[in-house]
Structure 1
Amino acid sequence: MRVFLCAALLVALSSVVSIGQKYHGDSWADVKANGKGTLTIVYYEQPGLVFKDNGQMKGVCVDIIADFAKFVQEKYNKTVTVNYAGQESEFSGFLKIAQNTPNILGVTNTSITDERKKIMKFTPPFMTTQLVLLTNQNAPTLTNLKDLPKVFAGFSALVITGSTHVKYAEKIKKQYSPELNITLAPSSESVIKSLSTNNKIFSILDFTEYVGVVRKKLPIKRHDVDLGNAEELGFIMSKSSDWDGLWKEFLTEDYRKGVRYKRIIADNLGSTFLNLVR
């Protein structure tokens, strides 16, 4: 038993070390002291927000981060080099790495919640977005959640592990459909793939994730039901990060009301979505 426990401990420690070796960044204190440094990014890909296209990083988040680096140069005369060091394919893994690795910034459509604030730091919100309920295009149309057990008879819910969407699916189950089976998927990509081929599931995703569905013209439809208040999205950091104060200086309401920000949204998500994604 003692040998087994020691082996398990070594595996856990090696896992932590491997994460630390994969991502390295500079603290803001080091950047100030040296006059320059690296802002290391780990990202979870989302169409329109953060993705790689022909070797180039693109999206709303990418443009905002570029503006942040420019802000630091202009206000503090410090050069910040942005390094997109890696992409994580599973959302829950992305969260853990950003939470546990010093001096990196986690970039995707992470909802800001009180529960997450206990274990990680957030930038101010870079966007506010609604949740949407999606099914295969051949599924019957749902217009009110109270009709879900009847309209979606025999359906199950598929949501992303570690996302706030799990909470919403559980709320729907409790209020409207006690027999609902909720299953988990590692990523939005896997959820969307399942929706494209399975007529008997529904999912809850961010509106920003729906953008990719529309662009690719996938056989998926959105249902006009009220899922509650919009969610604020932010970039994430470990509790030990000292970059959060600088982000509060930069990512203000005035920035998000400005012409530059609106152009970023329109260029990356399309003018159609400008009034829907705040």
Structure 2
Amino acid sequence: MERAQEHRPGEGRQVPAARPGEPGAALELLVHGVGGTTPEAMLNDPRTVRVTGDDIAAVFRRADDVDAERHPTARRDGPIPEAYVWCNLTSGNGTRALWLLLLPFMVVNLAHWMRPTARNRPRTVRLYGVLVRLAGLSLTVLLVAAACEVALDLAAWQCAGTGTCAARHSWLGFLSPEMSDGGWWSSPGRRLALAALVPTALTGLLWYLSLRTWSAYESQQPLTADPGAGPGEGDTGTALGRPGFWYGRRLGARLRAAHTAAGL
């Protein structure tokens, strides 16, 4: 992947744009398996160019196909191959497993985008969005409540308050009045206050993971339209084709604050 270069379509040379009415260039998306590979091997060409993405995941083309959209009729031997290289998404240290904590919230996010078509029904769309966001907040409350149940109720209150249970779990000995001979942490209030650090830390971890994704993705400025493109050329007619579809700086910040407040 070191040989791949980063390039923007139309950079460095002038290519005539396609005339109105001409058919667009067909694309063939190539995606490798879990084993990972290089864009050169996927495209069977030593000269590859990164057309979009970053060092973690990106789409590559052959150097000769970078500006293929501007002259689609010049290519007659089949669709334009593009290689999606995502092998770096699964590489890293063990802390990447913490992202599994956000898996339930990803399902709620998918539920938002799976909303059935409701044209000319703005109230229904807003109501659906409110219900989905309430479901996401309920997941945060449920996760933090489960941590409170384990840390405060089961561990600090019940187990540490019972001598036989504290004897079987030596790491709770300093919280038990019998095991610690009435130590400073053995009073019920101090035990619960110390155990409350567990759900607080969990809420802080969720906030940190959300901040990481917000900084890396949602807060990135959308791509600007090509100055040389005519009116309407940059609009594909679909939501995914809009330049600001993935831009959620304000909305992501508000949702992160709401989930943090719900967890606390």
TM range (shorter): under 0.3
> Which structure is higher in strand share?
1
> Which structure is higher in helix share?
2
Q: Which structure would you say has the larger Rg?
A: 2
User: What TM-score do you get using the length of structure 1 for normalisation?
Assistant: 0.24
With a CA cutoff of 8 Å and minimum separation of 6, indicate the structure with the bigger relative contact order.
1
